[in-house]
Structure 1
Amino acid sequence: MLSTEDNIFVIIITREFIIGMLGNVYIGLVNWIDWIKKKKISSIDYILTSLAISRICLLCVLILNGIIMVCYPDFYENDKLQAVINIFWTLTNYLSTWFATCLNVFYLLKIANFSHLLFLWLKRIDRVIHWILLGCLAISSLISLILATTPNYDYEFHKIINHKRNCTEMFHVSKSQYFNPLTLFNLLAIVPCTVPLISFFLLIMSLWRHIKQVKLSVAGCGDPSTEAHVRAMKTMTSFLFLLFVYYGASLLATFNYLMKESKLAVMLGEIIAILYPSGHSLILIIRNYKLRQTYIRMLSYETTVCMM
Structure 2
Amino acid sequence: MPSKVESILMLIAVGEFSMGMLGNTFIVLVNCLDWVKNKKMASVDLILASLAMSRICLLCIILLDGFILVLYPDVYATGKQMKIIDFFWTLTNHLSVWFATCLSIFYFLKIANFFHPLFLWMKWRIDRVILWILLGCLALSVFISLLVTENLNDDFRLCVKAKRKTNSTLRCRVNKAQYASTKILLNLLTLFPFSVSLISFLLLIFSLWRHTRQMQLNATGCSDPSTAAHMGAMKAVISFLLLFINYCLAFLVATSSYFMPETELAVIWGELIALIYPSSHSFILILKNNKLRQASLRVL
The answer to whether TM tops 0.5 is yes
Point out the more displaced range, 154-163 or 72-81.
154-163
Residue 25 of structure 1 is matched in structure 2 by 25
Distance 1:76 1:264 in 2: 15
How far 1:35 moved relative to its partner?
Answer: 0.7
Distance 1:73 1:160 in 2: 6
How far 1:157 moved relative to its partner?
Answer: 7.8
Residue 96 of structure 2 is matched in structure 1 by 96
Larger relative contact order (Cα-Cα within 8 Å, sequence gap ≥ 6): 2
How far 1:250 moved relative to its partner?
Answer: 0.2
Moved segments of 4+, more than 6 Å:
163-167
Q: Against the structure 1 CA distance between its residues 136 and 223, is the aligned structure 2 distance closer, same or farther, given a 3 Å change threshold? A: same
Q: Against the structure 1 CA distance between its residues 217 and 15, is the aligned structure 2 distance closer, same or farther, given a 3 Å change threshold? A: farther
The residue type equivalent to 2:84 in the other structure is: V
1:142-171 deviations in whole A, cap 9, x for unaligned? 11121243252543883899589779x99x
Structure 2 residue 203 is the aligned partner of structure 1 residue 202: yes
Contiguous gaps of at least 5 residues in structure 2:
none
Distance 1:55 1:120 in 2: 31
Residue 55 of structure 2 is matched in structure 1 by 55
| TM-score, length of structure 1 as denominator length | 0.89
Distance 1:159 1:8 in 2: 20
Q: Against the structure 1 CA distance between its residues 17 and 213, is the aligned structure 2 distance closer, same or farther, given a 3 Å change threshold? A: same
SS in 1 for 2:261: coil
SS in 1 for 2:275: helix
1:22-65 deviations in whole A, cap 9, x for unaligned? 11111001001111111111000010011111111111101100
Residue 306 of structure 1 is matched in structure 2 by none
Does the Cα contact within 8 Å between 2:251 and 2:274 map onto a contact in 1? yes
Q: Against the structure 1 CA distance between its residues 165 and 75, is the aligned structure 2 distance closer, same or farther, given a 3 Å change threshold? A: closer
The residue type equivalent to 2:214 in the other structure is: Q
Distance 2:107 2:55 in 1: 20
1:85-136 deviations in whole A, cap 9, x for unaligned? 1111011111111011000110000100111111111102001110000100
Residue 118 of structure 1 is matched in structure 2 by 118
The Cα RMSD (Å) is 2.4
Paired-residue identity, %: 54
Residue 137 of structure 1 is matched in structure 2 by 138
Residue 41 of structure 2 is matched in structure 1 by 41
How far 1:181 moved relative to its partner?
Answer: 2.7
The residue type equivalent to 2:69 in the other structure is: M
Distance 2:31 2:103 in 1: 15
Alignment of 1:256-271 (within 5 A): 256-271=257-272
The residue type equivalent to 2:222 in the other structure is: C
Does the Cα contact within 8 Å between 1:220 and 1:226 map onto a contact in 2? no
Distance 1:159 1:184 in 2: 22
Q: Against the structure 1 CA distance between its residues 218 and 65, is the aligned structure 2 distance closer, same or farther, given a 3 Å change threshold? A: farther
The residue type equivalent to 1:84 in the other structure is: I
SS in 2 for 1:176: helix
The residue type equivalent to 1:266 in the other structure is: V
SS in 2 for 1:214: helix
How far 1:178 moved relative to its partner?
Answer: 4.4
The residue type equivalent to 1:199 in the other structure is: S
SS in 2 for 1:128: helix
SS in 1 for 2:176: coil
Distance 2:147 2:221 in 1: 52
Distance 1:191 1:256 in 2: 25
Residue 185 of structure 2 is matched in structure 1 by 184
| TM-score, length of structure 2 as denominator length | 0.92
Q: State how many pairs are aligned.
A: 297
Does the Cα contact within 8 Å between 2:73 and 2:161 map onto a contact in 1? no
Alignment of 1:73-112 (within 5 A): 73-112=73-112
How far 1:187 moved relative to its partner?
Answer: 2.2
Q: Against the structure 1 CA distance between its residues 257 and 148, is the aligned structure 2 distance closer, same or farther, given a 3 Å change threshold? A: closer
